[in-house]
Amino acid sequence: MATHAVFEELGVPYEMIEIDLSKNMQKSAEYLAINPNGKVPTLVHQG
């Protein structure tokens, strides 16, 4: 993932949360609240 590599190079703190597509985690209410389209990956900046 290119975003991951950029964060590593810049020394930016981040948290990566794995989404299990086989369990349709991208369709959960919690995930859809962050990204209504249910697309992966999703980047949340400053909360």
Task: Give dist(CA 33, CA 31) in Å, integer.
Answer: 5
Task: Give dist(CA 9, CA 27) in Å, integer.
Answer: 31
The reply to whether 22 falls in a domain is: yes
Q: Which domain holds residue 47?
A: 17-47
Q: pLDDT, tens digit, for every residue of 7-46?
A: 999 998 988 889 999 999 999 999 999 999 999 888 888 8
Whether this model's pTM surpasses 0.75: no
The reply to whether 7 falls in a domain is: no
The reply to whether 26 falls in a domain is: yes
Residue 1 has pLDDT above 60, yes or no: no
Tell me how many domains the chain contains: 1
